[in-house]
Structure 1
Amino acid sequence: MLGKLFLLSLVCFFSLNFLSTINAETNLIADEIQSLKVTNKDPRMINFSVSLTEDHNYTSARLFYFLPNPSLNKSATRGDLNGIQSKFNNFYVDFDTNKGITGSRFIPTGVTFEYYWEFTDVNKNNYKTEMQQYLFLDGQYEWKLLTADNIFFYYYGNYNKNIQNCFLESVSVVKDGSDLLAIKVSYPINIIYYLSPSDSRYAKPTRSIVMDSMTVLGGVKYTSNVVHSYDQDCGVVKHEVTHILNEIAGHGTLLKLPFWVDEGFATYMMNKSDYYDNIIEKMINKNTVIRLSSMQGKPGTPEKVNLYYAQSYATTKYMIEQYGLEKYRSFFKILKEDFVIDEALQTVYGHDQDSLYLEWRQHKGLPIIKLVKIEQSSIPIPVATITPLNFPSKTTVNQQEVENNFSKQNNSNELAVSNFEIFINNYIFIIVGAILLLIMIKISIFLWKK
């Protein structure tokens, strides 16, 4: 009899805990929230704060945040941070977005936060706010907005001809690039336009000392819908926006575009053909052209920057002009299906990277050479997206350096997860509780019958 009572008590205990877990989180009524603020003095730190009425005595608070990835229709990053109580029912979080340390977490201005607060009162009851949105902009400046189609162009200071040109060219490059690649941009692209590199010093991630001393960062495509411009060059804006189009058209689930494909089309769309044609002609005259299969990632040194960009541009131009746009579109579509680069080229052009390079050399009148095959893995391996476009100081040309520190894991327990994973993480305890409850009920019924 005691055994039966123990089992029934255990079942009741699990049942009550299970039901209390389901009802633990309820939305706060609007009247309980006196203020809900997000501010930043500069882009290195965001302050989230909340003030509540005295209807409950809240002992703790936690901020949950999500950074949506519109290209995948899911959260690129999520995390949570403990709130600090400043006074009765007042809490805040100082969110560090740019520690200034190479490899640390970096969140660029232009991203949109989705967030909510969760509170616990003295009776251990949990409450939460409704989901909120916050567009992260540099708090040092008063931002103004120009918008057309999918472009949201943020600038500060006086409106001038260059701002107008960069805005209009960003709109046109989305239209022209989308037509060339036969894609559709279904979400907004945020362009953050700074007037000078010094104005944006707190809005950029830390780079290596060598790259900082030998190059000037002109612009960056940070995420699937955020571009920064640092030096008022409209060509840079077009280049970085094109990287977003490349991602939509050619990035697969596992494989990203090789450097020369991604940079080649982005440079092609800058409409600076005379500039890059001049560079490639000098390379041809000095026989310093570069094999495509050796340009899978960024250039290792600043000295190679000019050569990499010019070779990527020249190859892209040759593919489009010699074989036509239809084949180029097909090439991107196949890459998006996670074909490795040589397989995609063979399927569309009947070439691998080396034979395409040799054909291009022949087209340019260079001597016939033989190449030793570089063995490359046919297994799809995820690689970092190459994002920044650097304009080297004085004597060198564009440089792109991998600075993709965005959404690094840190003390806030950030994780790159999908919406489905977020759902599972939030409700796994309910599923486990339900399973335990069913098991205990079955055992109790079996023993009761015995």
Structure 2
Amino acid sequence: MSCNRTLGRTLWRIAGLLLAVLLLLSVFAAQSLAQTGSGGIELLSSGVTSKFQEGILFDAEVRSSAEIEEIAVRFRIGQREIGAYEYLEPDEQSGGESVRASVFYRTNTSARYIAPGTIITYSFEVTDVDGNRLDTEESEYIYHDDRYEWEEITNGIVTVSYHGPVSFRAEELLDATVQTLENMGPLLGAGVDDPIRITMYNNWPEMRPALPPDSVTTRRELITEGQAHSPEGVLLVLGGAPRASGIASHEVTHILVHRAGEGSLGRVPSWLNEGLAEFGNIQPGDSYDRALLRAIQRDDLLPITGMNGQPGTPEDVIIFYGQARSIVRFMVEEYGAEKMRELMATIKSGKNYRNAIPEVYGITPLELENQWRDSLGVPHRNLPDAESALPTALPTAALSLLSIDALRQQGSGATAVPAAAATVAPERTATPAPEATAVPQPTTVPTAVPAAARAEQVAGTAVAALSEMERENGEGSGGSCGIPTRGGIVEMSSVALLVGLAWLWARRRAGN
């Protein structure tokens, strides 16, 4: 009886092994069929290679009975909504049947930068001249920093890549990230099932080349301890930093804020984004609280809800973070987590936060800020009145042209009104301006000219006459010649002087 039972168990094991083999063969057959398109196009090999800091190399080798027309690769970077499409260039061709091709996708610019640890999902598309087409199944590739050999730890959702004997640090980052997902995911209404990958560097010289291209000055002056690439679901963390777990916690909250509140239409303002990231930080420091307390004591708080971005000075940036965390804490404690989830969803739908906050909370952003200020016992922030914000008009002095008629009026005893006292510019009179009078050529016997007419001639020629005399004598006058004014009134003594000088110049020319 015992022998029969043993034989029975053996047969069941053999049957189970045969079934497993059949299943494996069916899977391989399905994969083989998936890599063969209509008309017999076949993918012989394919691959992706990281050329870190420069780009990614896609290559493929295909075969077909007809001439290969095009080979292209479709790929999606991380969790971005929009993918990319590139054509491969043929490298070799053997008898028109086998073609090897490749394309190098550059990532060494800010616009095309890809963070280390990003998942690249890709597939190939092949067509031949007969119209046959092959679409391969999607594959995944991890774009690693190829300067190091990486090890990984994961809980299935969060994966930490590290190198060197620092597994204990990697485990701390993993635990901090998982805890933050559990705390902040429900608060924000963010999905926590999509993968998150963390690349941990041991020191700043290791991490600096992995960051997006920036100016050399910025890299020298700043040390980045953490950086979130939210659309890709990727974090870069400086594992040797004193509060590395807090850095990972802060940065992963940015990813959750992006998932809950941002999309093709919606953008979460910086003060709310950073405030939530610090609110979710499981290992916060006290520098932000100290900066906020100093700002309150000096009455130097920032207009936080009215700011479109972060301030420019380092001191104000620290105050900004402290205020942002404090006002987010007030929003959650005063109105609850449900309102925060609703706010994120409303912003993601495409509404500006200035419209989303009144819709969700029933108050304006400024009123929300003033409620927060009330909780701290500090004065309200008020917008300036519309009238006081307008520029003040300044009086403008009226200007008028000086004519010979004005000179005549002054000579006859007419009283001139100073320009500064005039409120309205005088209308142009109907009296035509005097026509230009040609400089009279001197004769041996000068002709007498009435005084008034002589004044008109002098007014038009006095400056030219004096200049001519200076050129003939070769002497400089030491200054410019003109009609001096004082309070807008022309002095007749100056006119008489000009008349005399002009007369002397005319006699001199006549004598020559």
Give the alignment's Cα RMSD to 1 decimal.
3.1
Task: Measure how far apart 1:125 and its partner are.
Answer: 5.1
Flag the 1:109–1:128 CA change in 2: closer, same or farther, 3 A: farther
**Match for 1:335 among 347, 350, 355?**
347
Which residue does 1:365 correspond to in 2? 377
Residue 116 (structure 1) aligned with residue 127 (structure 2)? no
Flag the 1:111–1:275 CA change in 2: closer, same or farther, 3 A: same
Aligned-partner residue type, residue 245 of structure 1: L
- SS for the counterpart of 2:372 is helix
Task: Measure how far apart 1:291 and its partner are.
Answer: 0.8
| Pairing of 1:72-83 with structure 2 (within 5 A) | 75-83=81-89
Count of residue pairs brought into register by the alignment: 342
Which residue does 2:105 correspond to in 1? 95
Task: Measure how far apart 1:129 and its partner are.
Answer: 5.0
Aligned-partner residue type, residue 50 of structure 2: N
2:38/2:132 contact within 8 Å kept: no
**Match for 2:276 among 265, 290, 294?**
265
Aligned-partner residue type, residue 373 of structure 2: R
Which residue does 2:28 correspond to in 1? none
Flag the 1:331–1:48 CA change in 2: closer, same or farther, 3 A: closer
| Pairing of 1:21-32 with structure 2 (within 5 A) | 27=37, 32=42
Task: Measure how far apart 1:128 and its partner are.
Answer: 3.3
CA-to-partner distance for each residue in 1:103-137, whole Å, 9 max, x for gaps? 4421223333233334465x565543513422222
Structure 2 Cα separation of the partners of residues 295 and 216 of structure 1: 25
Listed as ranges, the gaps of 5+ residues in structure 2 are 1-34, 387-512
CA-to-partner distance for each residue in 1:168-227, whole Å, 9 max, x for gaps? 110110111113234432321222222233223443211245533432222222133422
Task: Measure how far apart 1:47 and its partner are.
Answer: 1.7
> TM-score normalized by structure 1?
0.67
Structure 2 Cα separation of the partners of residues 337 and 52 of structure 1: 44
Aligned-partner residue type, residue 269 of structure 2: P
1:66/1:78 contact within 8 Å kept: yes
Aligned-partner residue type, residue 151 of structure 1: V
Task: Measure how far apart 1:356 and its partner are.
Answer: 2.1
Flag the 1:299–1:120 CA change in 2: closer, same or farther, 3 A: same
Which residue does 1:243 correspond to in 2? 254
Which residue does 1:137 correspond to in 2? 144
2:41/2:65 contact within 8 Å kept: no
- SS for the counterpart of 1:239 is helix
2:230/2:254 contact within 8 Å kept: no
Flag the 1:58–1:181 CA change in 2: closer, same or farther, 3 A: same
2:160/2:173 contact within 8 Å kept: no
Task: Measure how far apart 1:149 and its partner are.
Answer: 4.8
1:219/1:240 contact within 8 Å kept: yes
2:36/2:43 contact within 8 Å kept: no
CA-to-partner distance for each residue in 1:34-57, whole Å, 9 max, x for gaps? 43221124242222222346x657
Aligned-partner residue type, residue 271 of structure 2: W
Flag the 1:373–1:180 CA change in 2: closer, same or farther, 3 A: farther
Flag the 1:341–1:29 CA change in 2: closer, same or farther, 3 A: same
- SS for the counterpart of 2:373 is helix
Structure 1 Cα separation of the partners of residues 36 and 45 of structure 2: 19
Same amino acid, percent of matched pairs: 27
**Match for 2:178 among 171, 176, 180?**
171
Which residue does 2:60 correspond to in 1? 50
Structure 2 Cα separation of the partners of residues 223 and 369 of structure 1: 33
> TM-score normalized by structure 2?
0.59
Residue 351 (structure 1) aligned with residue 351 (structure 2)? no
Aligned-partner residue type, residue 130 of structure 1: T
CA-to-partner distance for each residue in 1:60-110, whole Å, 9 max, x for gaps? 65332221664xxx74222213324156422222221124xxx44212233
Task: Measure how far apart 1:27 and its partner are.
Answer: 2.0
- SS for the counterpart of 2:205 is coil
Structure 2 Cα separation of the partners of residues 373 and 273 of structure 1: 39
Aligned-partner residue type, residue 123 of structure 2: Y
User: Which of structures 1 and 2 has the bigger CA Rg?
Assistant: 2
Structure 1 Cα separation of the partners of residues 231 and 133 of structure 2: 33
